């Protein structure tokens, strides 16, 4: 009786052993799949993190570049409007420098005029003074303008104070007469303030000169110091665009983003320790992995195979969402292949005002401004067609309050990635950046004193007006207005009075024009009127009459009655006329009017490439070069 009992026990043990083996194999397989999905999610999160950092670096570098260009533009506009004498001991030029420094936006520390060889003729400055002439930072300026419109020094130090200089050429009669230099203390600069205000506890970023010396930084203690050699070498090598570089400093593993290409050979840098940079993402990944193993063990004890599959699906979803930048302040969403939103990160509430689940199930395309949807459809079409593709666009996203906010949108095709299985959309609010870009764009195309379009915008509009278009009249007129006796106002009442007079002149000329006309300021006391699609040349001559008459009336400048006048040159296009020809013809006609005594206008003849060949009813005299009209 004993033998059969033992045999039965052995038979009963076989299925138990087999069940344990099968269960262990299933657990190992589930664990391996879960680990792979967790690693894929980590790589996706790290890629998003690097892309966000790269975008932020590009934006900061662009703003720094515009800051440097605007500082040089302030010098150029001052030089163009006043034309210093550049003679030793010239008190008028010294007063010009004092006036400029007192009102400058960028160069409140000091300014100087030099001769063509770079020798400083005279300068003004605040404490602690200006760098010595042999300071290595002057090296870029010692080569002279050499065709450059702006020159940036390296970082220089004067008794512990770090500063830079920006130079622009002073032109006259087609040659370089000298240079004007503006000096700015780095600690007090607007660029430095913006770097200090940028977020980031462990990271550091800033702008360096061509020698690798820090000119602006989030840590003002680093001003004037040299960046790490590895970062400086990366900037020197990276001529094609932004790049990441890893290196070691003071026993720590570091990562840096460098963005070359700023004016003057300058560059932007951002640095952080590798542990801090990837720490948030990798810590979450480790915790997710440990949680996965714990769930697998619990499932092995308490769940059947069906329950294990359901738990694994839930874990995959949780791992996907944890891995996708819970650490990010940007709005991150996941779309399925139909374009519906299946996940929104918690930061959606801060960026767009929606509750965590407020947009789930909605078609993402209808969350964008109607004018941006066509471009967005093209972007999503390209993404779906290419595995792993990344697309970027700026568009307007619908806020919960009904407004549309400008966002920078990055979309990555991770449909093939089992940890994601969708399109990852990263949205960053750029309303403030967009407003700043629009402001900078406006400043680049308009005169700072009068707010009128400048020469650059005039040239663009004139070239467009001369392009043949059957929908409008082909006649285009240019009126070149030069003020008479303006210099005497500057000399007797001062430059502030002269600036006020220019603003009044701008308003008075604008009052003579229609809404379809463009008025631009192209020089110190020179204005240009662009008239597109006119019916006859006499229309332009009539406007010239009104301008001359309006500017002949007295002005009230700071309580002083001021009487000036204007000489106006009129040029109407012929077939094939270029923008340069139009402006030069109007300029020549203006000089004919001025040589005839001023206070009138002139039109050039067809020989001089102008289309106006007959005088209006106010004609008083004719010259071989054109037709002169008195007001």
Pairing of strands 518-521, 526-531: antiparallel
Question: Which pLDDT does position 340 carry in this prediction?
Answer: 94
Q: Give the length of the chain.
A: 631
Question: Tokens 């709005």 — which residue?
Answer: 331
Which is the CATH superfamily of the domain at 76-188? PAS domain (3.30.450.20)
Question: Which pLDDT does position 185 carry in this prediction?
Answer: 93
Which parts of the chain sit beneath pLDDT 50?
1-13, 303, 306, 605-631
Question: Which pLDDT does position 362 carry in this prediction?
Answer: 92
What is the distance between the alpha carbons of residues 153 and 360, in angstroms, rounded to a whole number?
A: 54
| Degrees, nearest 5: CA angle 371-377-379 | 110
Q: Report yes or no on whether pTM surpasses 0.85.
A: no
Question: Which pLDDT does position 121 carry in this prediction?
Answer: 85
Question: Which pLDDT does position 284 carry in this prediction?
Answer: 60
What is the distance between the alpha carbons of residues 177 and 82, in angstroms, rounded to a whole number?
A: 14
DSSP, res 342 = E
Question: Which pLDDT does position 197 carry in this prediction?
Answer: 72
Q: Which of 612, 597, 450 is nearest to 522 (CA)?
A: 450
DSSP, res 228 = P
CATH architecture of the domain 329-430 equals 2-Layer Sandwich (3.30)
CB 572, CB 544: distance < 8 Å: no
The segment(s) of the chain belonging to CATH 3.30.450.20 are 76-188, 329-430
Sheet with 341-344: strands ordered across: 341-344, 331-335, 422-429, 404-414, 390-398
Q: Which of 45, 609, 127 is nearest to 319 (CA)?
A: 45
What is the dotted CATH code of the domain comprising 446-630?
3.30.70.270
CB 253, CB 245: distance < 8 Å: no
Q: Which of 177, 206, 202, 175 is nearest to 193 (CA)?
A: 206
The segment(s) of the chain belonging to CATH 3.30.70.270 are 446-630
pLDDT tens digits, 103-137: 988 898 999 988 888 888 888 999 888 998 889 98
Q: How far is CA 459 from CA 218, 449, 483, 517, in A?
A: 40, 19, 21, 14
* 428: β partners: 408
Buried b or exposed e, range 197-215, using 16+ CB within 10 angstroms: eeeeeebbbbbbbbbbbbb
CB 551, CB 505: distance < 8 Å: yes
Question: Which pLDDT does position 11 carry in this prediction?
Answer: 45
What is the distance between the alpha carbons of residues 58 and 385, in angstroms, rounded to a whole number?
A: 28
Question: Which pLDDT does position 70 carry in this prediction?
Answer: 87
> What is the enclosing helix (H) or strand (E) of 286?
helix 274-302
Question: Which pLDDT does position 323 carry in this prediction?
Answer: 58
Crossing angle between the packed helical segments 305-323 and 2-82, to the nearest 10 degrees: 20
CB 533, CB 475: distance < 8 Å: yes
* 238: β partners: none
Question: Which pLDDT does position 309 carry in this prediction?
Answer: 62
Question: Which pLDDT does position 451 carry in this prediction?
Answer: 93
């Amino acid at each position: 009786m004993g033998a059969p009992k033992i045999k039965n026990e052995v038979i009963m043990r076989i299925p138990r052993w087999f069940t344990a083996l099968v269960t262990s194999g299933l657990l190992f397989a589930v664990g391996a799949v879960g680990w792979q999905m967790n690693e894929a999610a980590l790589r996706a999160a790290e890629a998003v993190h690097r892309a966000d950092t790269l975008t932020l670096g590009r934006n900061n570098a662009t703003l720094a570049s515009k800051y440097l260009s605007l500082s040089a533009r302030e010098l150029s506009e001052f030089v163009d409007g006043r034309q210093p004498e550049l003679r030793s001991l010239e008190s008028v030029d010294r007063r010009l420098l004092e006036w400029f420094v007192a009102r400058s936006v960028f160069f409140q520390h000091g300014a100087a005029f030099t001769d063509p060889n770079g020798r400083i003729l005279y300068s003004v400055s605040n404490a602690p003074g200006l760098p010595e002439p042999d300071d290595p930072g002057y090296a870029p300026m010692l080569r002279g303008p050499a065709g450059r419109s702006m020159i940036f020094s390296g970082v220089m130090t004067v008794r512990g104070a770090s500063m830079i200089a920006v130079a622009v050429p002073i032109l006259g009669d087609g040659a370089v007469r000298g240079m004007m230099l503006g000096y700015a203390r780095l600690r007090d600069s607007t660029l430095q303030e913006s770097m200090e205000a940028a977020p980031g506890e462990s990271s550091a970023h800033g702008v360096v000169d061509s020698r690798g010396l820090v000119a602006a930084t989030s840590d003002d203690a680093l001003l004037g110091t040299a960046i790490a050699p590895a970062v400086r070498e990366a900037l020197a090598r990276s001529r094609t665009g932004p790049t990441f570089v890893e290196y070691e400093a003071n026993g720590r593993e570091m990562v840096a983003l460098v963005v070359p290409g700023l004016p003057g050979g300058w560059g932007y840098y951002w640095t952080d320790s590798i542990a801090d940079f990837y720490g948030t993402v990798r810590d979450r990944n480790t915790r997710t992995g440990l949680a996965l193993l714990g769930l697998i063990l619990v499932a092995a004890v308490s769940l059947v195979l069906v329950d294990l599959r359901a738990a694994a699906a839930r874990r995959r979803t949780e791992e996907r969402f944890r891995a996708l930048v819970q650490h990010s302040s940007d709005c991150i969403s996941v779309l399925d292949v139909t374009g519906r939103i299946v996940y929104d990160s918690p930061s959606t509430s801060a960026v767009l005002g929606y509750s965590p689940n407020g947009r789930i199930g909605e078609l993402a395309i209808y969350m964008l401004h109607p004018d941006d949807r066509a471009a967005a459809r093209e972007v999503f079409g390209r993404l779906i067609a290419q595995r792993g593709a990344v697309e970027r666009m700026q568009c307007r996203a619908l806020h919960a309050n009904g407004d549309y906010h400008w966002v920078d949108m990055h979309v990555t095709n991770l449909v093939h990635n089992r940890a994601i299985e969708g399109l990852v959309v990263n949205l960053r609010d750029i309303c403030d950046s967009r407003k700043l870009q629009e402001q900078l764009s406006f400043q680049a195309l308009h005169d700072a004193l009068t707010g009128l379009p400048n020469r650059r915008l005039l040239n663009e509009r004139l070239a467009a007006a001369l392009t043949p278009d059957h929908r409008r009249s082909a006649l285009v007129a240019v009126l070149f207005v030069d003020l008479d006796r303006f210099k005497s106002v500057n000399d007797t009442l001062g430059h502030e009075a002269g600036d006020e007079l220019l603003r009044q002149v701008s308003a008075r000329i604008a009052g003579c024009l229609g809404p379809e006309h463009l008025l631009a300021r192209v020089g110190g006391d020179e204005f240009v009127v662009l008239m597109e699609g006119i019916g006859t040349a006499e229309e332009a001559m009539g406007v010239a009459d009104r301008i001359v008459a309006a500017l002949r009336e007295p002005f009230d400048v700071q309580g002083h009655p001021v009487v000036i006048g204007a000489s106006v040159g009129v040029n109407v296009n012929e077939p094939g006329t270029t923008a340069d020809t139009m402006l030069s013809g109007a300029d020549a006609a203006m000089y004919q009017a001025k040589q005839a005594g001023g206070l009138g206008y002139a039109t050039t003849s067809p020989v001089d490439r102008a289309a106006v060949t007959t005088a209006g009813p106010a004609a008083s005299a004719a010259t071989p070069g054109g037709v002169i009209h008195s007001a």
